């Protein structure tokens, strides 16, 4: 079964896991994108970050995709958590490392160090919460600021409009056309309307994130290190 880790377990695990490799990791300082670029056997290890307001369903999306479960009574994430899932996209084996971050402002100092080394960012809002949609620009700016991305205009972002299951109840506050227009104005990001509750487009969204990374040929060339490395085992 996949395992989730919380602060400060994440920091301790990462530090311990990097022993013996020619890597250095200091929480809170610049880190080269080594974690995301490590090969696990013949599988590319890609790091993706889920960002968005608290309560939009980031944890539920991660748990639905990795464990195929949904908990309607789940609590807000404190700090960061991450899970791994092995998959094959277009014939290419990939280990996807999914990082779930706390959306509340008071957890900013805990989450931002883990933006470094990300290969893709999934900006997430809830279609029944207009404010969470309006905050997407701020989330994107925060990620670019703290991730030290060399070329922000080329970095792969994917946008998720979650909780689409509530549309039938008349609770939609953000229309699909409005969300797609934002995506076009912000780098032509792929957009998916998802539901962790009924598993709508969840797999498609994460697989699209992988394809966005693999499409960046220059970036893919940096994904190989001399030593194979596995951060988590199932």
pLDDT in tens, 99-128: 988 755 555 556 677 888 999 999 999 999
CB 140 within 8 A of CB 149: no
CB 164 within 8 A of CB 202: no
Say which residue, 148 or 200, is predicted with more confidence. Answer: 200
CB 161 within 8 A of CB 193: yes
Q: Is the per-residue pLDDT at 158 higher than 90?
A: yes
Q: What distance in Å separates the CA atoms of residue 84 and residue 87, rounded to the nearest whole number? A: 10
198 closest CA partner among 169, 223, 231: 169
Q: What distance in Å separates the CA atoms of residue 74 and residue 70, rounded to the nearest whole number? A: 9
- Confidence at residue 168, expressed as pLDDT on a 0 to 100 scale: 80
- Residue 233's pLDDT band (boundaries 50, 70, 90)? very low
Q: Is the per-residue pLDDT at 24 higher than 50?
A: no
Domain ranges of the chain: 9-18+34-220
Q: How high does pLDDT run on average in the chain?
A: 77
Q: What spatial distance separates the first Cα and last Cα of the chain, rounded to whole Å? A: 6
- Confidence at residue 205, expressed as pLDDT on a 0 to 100 scale: 97
Q: What distance in Å separates the CA atoms of residue 234 and residue 231, rounded to the nearest whole number? A: 10
Fold adopted by 9-18+34-220: Rossmann fold (3.40.50)
pTM over 0.95: no
- Confidence at residue 80, expressed as pLDDT on a 0 to 100 scale: 72
Q: How many CA atoms lie within 13 A of 229 on its CB side?
A: 22
Cβ neighbours of residue 220 closer than 8 Å, sequence gap 6 or more: 44, 213, 214
* 125: three-class secondary structure by DSSP: strand
DSSP classification of residue 76:
P
- What is the number of helices (H) and of strands (E) in the chain? 8, 7
Q: How many Cβ atoms from other residues are within 10 Å of residue 204's Cβ?
A: 12
Q: Per the structure block, which two tokens stand in for 203?
A: 């797999």
Mean pLDDT, to the nearest integer, of 167-176?
Answer: 89
Cα Dmax for the chain: 55
Say which residue, 98 or 38, is predicted with more confidence. Answer: 98
């Amino acid at each position: 079964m996949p395992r989730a880790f919380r602060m400060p377990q994440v920091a301790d695990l990462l530090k311990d896991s990097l022993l013996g490799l020619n890597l250095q990791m200091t929480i809170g300082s610049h880190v080269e994108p080594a974690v995301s670029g490590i090969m696990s056997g013949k599988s590319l290890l890609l790091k993706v970050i889920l960002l968005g307001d608290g309560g939009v369903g980031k944890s539920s999306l991660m748990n639905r995709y990795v464990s195929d479960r949904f908990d309607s009574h789940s609590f807000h994430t404190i700090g960061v958590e991450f899970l791994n899932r092995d998959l094959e996209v277009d014939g290419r084996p990939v280990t996807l490392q999914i990082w779930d971050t706390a959306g509340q402002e008071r957890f900013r100092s805990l989450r931002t160090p883990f933006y470094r080394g990300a290969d893709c960012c999934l900006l997430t809002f809830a279609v029944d919460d207009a404010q969470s949609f309006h905050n997407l620009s701020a989330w994107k700016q925060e990620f670019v600021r703290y991730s030290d991305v060399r070329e922000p205009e080329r970095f792969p972002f994917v946008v998720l409009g979650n909780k689409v299951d509530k549309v039938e109840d008349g609770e939609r506050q953000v229309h699909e056309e409005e969300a797609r227009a934002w995506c076009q104005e912000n780098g032509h990001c792929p957009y998916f309307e998802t539901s962790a509750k009924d598993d709508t487009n969840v797999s498609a969204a994460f697989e699209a994130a992988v394809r966005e990374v693999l499409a960046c040929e220059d970036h893919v060339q940096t994904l190989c290190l001399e030593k194979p490395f596995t951060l988590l085992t199932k």
